[in-house]
Amino acid sequence: MSLRLHFQSIFTPNFLPRHFSHYTPRASFPTFSSGEMEDVKSGSELTLADPVLLHAKIDAIRSAGPQKLQVIADFDATLTKFWVNGTRGQSSHGLLQQDNPEYNAKRQQLYDYYHPLEFSPTLGLEEKRKLMEEWWGRTHGLLMEGGLTYESIKQSVANGNIAFREGVSEFFEFLEEQDIPVLIFSAGLADIIEEVLRQKLKRSFKNVKIVSNRMVFNDDGQLVSFKGKLIHSLNKNEHALDMAAPVLEHFGDIDVPTDDNDLLKKRTNVLLLGDHTGDLGMSDGLNYDTRISVGFLNHNVENSLSIYKEAFDVVLVNDAPMWEVIKLVSQMCLNEK
């Protein structure tokens, strides 16, 4: 609660513009003279590819108003941390443990076989897509065959080595107050992502929706099937908007008709968060006016920073918390009246 109050204090209209001109390349977002923000800057490092362009984009989004803005975010290693308790954090797929350990071993065997193929420099994209479909399909098959229960998901999340970046809850809360939808696109498992949100954030957000592989459980709590189109790592982006449409029909809280399938497309300004350059494709298909992209560069920083700077408007390294993103979005939503 103290953090919430803390942030409300920096969202006051007069505060941010005063510091807004302090954007500089390879520097932190505006420094807060009160000293109140010193504690939240530690551990993050921010790089802006083109501060002038970023200023212009923020201005454009602010002028259009929060009703035109949406947030599209990847889940694993974007909203969650790359390092957790000194080791690589687990993904929503990776943390899942079935009651029957034989099936965990079988899924691991699939991982060992397909994962190198996903990143093979010699295979073509079409070939890789087929292999990913095969991998995800076989994995989903093992989850059903092994009798996965919802109870196992709860346990797996409780035992999993997974954590949100600091400030994710405050980020969602701010967006909820502004009625800005957050779509989380993931090739993982929607039911697990929702359970991670439930257990780790300990509250729900009516503006946050998951577009991912969704399970169907029977009355005994056993997995029996999957809903809709299979979403794997290499088709996640190309179908993101199509897959989001049915989800958005249930956005009853947004000030537009809830039966409007084009809801997403009416929000023509985007804040996009990802940890791979491929995540930029999440906004493909949306004829957006302005997009601000934030890339979390989690490893191999030396070699990848220039690529990330080319691709994203803002790059955050060192497993950064969300505070800079909150400052950014608060500037986009600033009411200048």
Residue number, 237 or 330, with CB nearest to Mg ion: 237
Segment lying near Mg ion (by CB under 5 A), choices 43-51, 122-130, 267-275, 326-334: 267-275
76 annotated active-site: yes
Segment lying near Mg ion (by CB under 5 A), choices 52-60, 63-71, 273-281, 288-296: 273-281
The single-letter code of the amino acid at 175 is L
Q: Residue 127 Cβ, how far from Mg ion at the closest point, in Å?
A: 22
The sign one gets for the Cα dihedral 191, 196, 199, 201 is: negative
Told to check if 241 binds Mg ion by CB under 5 A, we report no
DSSP state of 301: H
The 57-76 contact track toward Mg ion, x by CB under 5 A, reads -----------------x-x
Residue number, 27 or 301, with CB nearest to Mg ion: 301
The single-letter code of the amino acid at 71 is V
What is the total count of residues that contact Mg ion (CB under 5 A)? 5
- Quote the CA–CA distance of 263 and 257 in Å, as a whole number: 8
74 annotated active-site: yes
Q: For residue 136, what are its two tokens?
A: 């995800």
Run of H or E residues at 187: strand 182-189
Q: For residue 142, what are its two tokens?
A: 């093992």
**Residue burial 214-245, b: 16+ Cβ < 10 Å; e: rest:** bbeeeeeebbeebeeeebbbbbbbebbbebbe
Residue number, 77 or 315, with CB nearest to Mg ion: 77
Active-site annotation holder among 39, 59, 76, 112: 76
Binding residues vs Mg ion (CB under 5 A): 74, 76-78, 275
Give catalytic residues, as residue numbers. Answer: 74, 76
